Amino acid sequence: MAVAPALAVSGAALGGAVVRAPRPTGGGGERRRPSPSLLSFGRAGPFAPGGGAAVGGSRRRGAVRAAAASGKVVVPEGENDGLTSSADSASAQFPSDELEVPDITEDQMESSETMIGALEADAEALNREVLRSALQDGPRTVPPPGDGQKIFQIDSMLNGYKYHLEYRYSLYRRIRSDIDEHEGGLEAFSRSYEKFGFNRSAEGVTYREWAPGAHSAALVGDFNNWDPNADRMSKNDFGVWEVFLPNNADGSSPIPHGSRVKVRMDTPSGIKDSIPAWIKYSVQAPGAIPYDGIYYDPPEEVKHVFKHPQPKRPKSLRIYETHVGMSSPEPKINTYANFRDDVLPRIKKLGYNAVQIMAIQEHSYYGSFGYHVTNFFAPSSRFGTPEDLKSLIDRAHELGLLVLMDVVHSHASSNTLDGLNGFDGTDTHYFHSGPRGHHWMWDSRLFNYGHWEVLRFLLSNARWWLEEYKFDGFRFDGVTSMMYTHHGLQVAFTGNFNEYFGFATDVDAVVYLMLMNDLVHGLYPEAVTIGEDVSGMPTFALPVQDGGVGFDYRLHMAVADKWIELMKQSDESWKMADIVHTLTNRRWLEKCVTYSESHDQALVGDKTIAFWLMDKDMYDFMALDRPSTPTIDRGIALHKMIRLITMGLGGEGYLNFMGNEFGHPEWIDFPRGPQRLPSGKFIPGNNNSYDKCRRRFDLGDADYLRYHGMQEFDRAMQHVEEKYGFMTDEHQYISRKHEEDKVIVFEKGDLVFVFNFHCNNSYFDYRVGCRRSGVYKVVLDSDAGLFGGFGRIHHTAEHFTDGSHDNRPHSFSVYTPSRTCVVYAPADTITPEESSEESK
């Protein structure tokens, strides 16, 4: 195992005394009258109607996150020779649904399941309660590290990789200790935005920037007529540049709110003007290509004051994935304000309890979907001001919705004029040098997570969004790319532990993720962290104190891949066991957010599930006043079934990309002009059109279209989960996976789910097993007329249990029509109002 490089505190080697540079005295003489504020360009809305062209070679990020190749990468073996194949690692997965059920009493079964559920939940609940109490009683601090040993109790197979995992944990503990010693702890370290960038005091404005490669630096902007000699900066021994600007004679700020600002540096690659790395706001002036940094310090009467408390973390997470810019039915860039007023109430009505927002961090290229970040601390100005974003989040909290940010710490835009790339004129500032610092597929720069100042920057960035904007957590993008030096490209992960704990693992990156999760959960116990990892690394979603990486959830990305694979086949050939295995193949005690499709499948060049199923028929046969087609009937039926079985078996959380709930008929195509790649390949543009960069919510709302029935089914599905909490119920049992009948039956809590995937066969008096005796009634039926079905099931019917079946202690008979899914609940859990509503 290679030893991690020595870290540095602001450039000083660890272990030595930390020397603070003396604070320079104010200089620069009398302040000049500033030029007009750039904020005056767009008081009524976003500054630029369109996204700027790529700067410095930035390109749209491809939809493929971790491409599987024809072969797999040979990963060096770990310390345990001859260790596991994917089949050998089955003990680390969920218990098999094929287990025989002995003749035990219901009380024994309930007691056993309750105990298992308690074991899963007690540590998490206790830790959150202790942290919450600590925050109420005194200053916020991140709890000290644990011993990191519990992961070996959870999965004994990890003992074969104990050297790697203990080295990882020892590095994490060492950095935590060094931060405590030299920075005053993780809590203080993560508030470095109070030292770096622009900070206002009663005496004036201090600006600091880490740029060790620069030979000289000066702050320039509208406020000093861009004079590089007016406000020259001094550099300390650790590469930090600083300048203090005293207040004007009348006590006003030396830099007016809304002024354009940049830092001019003489660097090894020449003189360059850069947007400050810690800038809080940046805009693209009309007609310009690179963005301008903006000094953002609005008057108190303009600042948004949060009025509503942040919601508690729900047990079952139901996420509505969104993009503010394309959230309008009209072909335009939407605003934070419109999203707040029009989209948030829709999300609430649909029954979701969390909204995940993409493309918040500023990105100069709109077509990157927000993944080529240029300014990490600045919210995208295309959609409005920082105060507008705060108002959006406050309104979401009023509605009881968590707001999760799709944050990008896996890479950065390769732009040099308005991004971090080459900031101080070197190739190594914030990033690895050479090929390791460049992502060849995404054309972006890759952070050096082993550098002290990178840790400061990224940890402070996570803290900033939680503290300043009151986000309730994060979905971390591209985590697989972070954790492996091969970035998950051209690698087929098979489940062999050597693939996770070998020389291809970027231990520095994994330790950064541990520190980040430590920080977030320590200071904000209710916050949620979700990691986008396709590899399935063991310990990914286990607490840091126990030796895990610390995420609350892993995105269960294999599920969407499986559905797209099945879309290319006739549903007559689908294997029930294969579907169930993919949905349930996840590690014990490591929670997952599942989804049948996300924004990736909606991008131009790919297809959504609805488009795979119905194709061009969607354009001509979705109106209720004209006959349907077999293609439409099949597509609508399977669309509903796929979504419900994914939610039912796929994980402890569920995600849907906006519009997909009703089978949005259009793909996503960002406005773009023609491009010629460095390889010489020509890519035609779309005349910078916004026509396919929007969401046609009007289609789902139109009760004369079949889209409406699909939307209503999704809404009913969310509300059933809200009432019964079946995603996180500790009881799950799959009693039937019948290949000939094409039937899947499973229990979640007290609910019984019955899926009939057969294209033709409907079954009368079909017996299904259950754990609880009594009377069952329908609580959700995909075949209901309201949901675009044929109404073949009587919702008022009562189903009485009678005898055992499929190794279950009780059972009842149902009618299961072809291509339907029905959920049954004990009658005593259904209110008269719900029963009346369901019978319609």
683-691 long-range contacts, Cβ below 8 Å, gap at least 24?
688/50, 689/331, 690/331, 690/332, 690/333, 691/331
Six-digit token string for 724: 């019964």
Q: What's the CA gap between 706 and 663, in Å, rounded?
A: 10
Using alpha carbons only, how large is the chain's radius of gyration in Å? 28
User: Quick check: is 532 catalytic?
Assistant: yes
Residue 717's nearest CA partner among 320, 437, 338 is: 320
Half-sphere exposure of 728 (CA within 13 A, CB side): 19
Sheet with strand 204-210: strands edge to edge: 197-200, 204-210, 240-246, 234-235
Residue 277's nearest CA partner among 223, 240, 222 is: 240
- Other C-beta atoms closer than 10 Å to the C-beta of 486 total 16
Among left, alpha and beta (phi > 0; psi -120 to 50; other), residue 4 is beta
Q: What's the CA gap between 241 and 208, in Å, rounded?
A: 5
- Given a contact cutoff of 8 angstroms between Cβ atoms, the answer to whether 592 and 555 are in contact is yes
Six-digit token string for 597: 């499709």
For the chain, helix, strand, coil in percent to 5 are 30, 20, 50
Among left, alpha and beta (phi > 0; psi -120 to 50; other), residue 530 is beta
List 532, 546, 652, 721, catalytic entry: 532
List 155, 394, 477, 508, catalytic entry: 477
**Surface-to-core class of residue 829, CB atoms within 10 Å of its CB (0-12 exposed, 13-18 middle, 19+ buried):** middle
Which alpha helices (H) appear in 330-410, and where do they start and end?
336-338, 344-350, 386-398
* Exposure string over 205-235, b if 16+ CB within 10 A, otherwise e: bbbbbbbbbbeebbbbbbbbebebebbbbbb
* Residues recorded for the chain: 840
User: Quick check: is 477 catalytic?
Assistant: yes
Residue 46's nearest CA partner among 333, 363, 389 is: 333
DSSP secondary structure code for residue 21 in this structure: P
Paired residues of 738 in beta bridges: 743
Give Cβ neighbours of residue 316 (< 8 Å, ≥ 6 apart).
353, 652, 653, 654, 721, 722, 725, 726, 727, 728
Whole-Å CA distances, 65 to 478, 511, 599: 7, 22, 12
Angle between helix axes 162-183 and 507-523 (nearest 10 degrees) is 60
Six-digit token string for 306: 């949060």
Give Cβ neighbours of residue 810 (< 8 Å, ≥ 6 apart).
769, 770, 771, 772, 773, 801, 802, 803, 804
Match 């197979």 to its residue by tokens.
157
Query: What is the three-class DSSP state of 73?
Result: coil
DSSP secondary structure code for residue 735 in this structure: E
DSSP assignment of 611-670 equals HHHHGGGGGTS-BTTS---HHHHHHHHHHHHHHHHHHHHS-SEEEEETTGGGT--S-B--
Whole-Å CA distances, 631 to 51, 504, 627, 638: 38, 46, 12, 11
Q: Are strands 820-826 and 317-323 parallel, antiparallel or unpaired?
A: unpaired
Active site amino acids: 477, 532
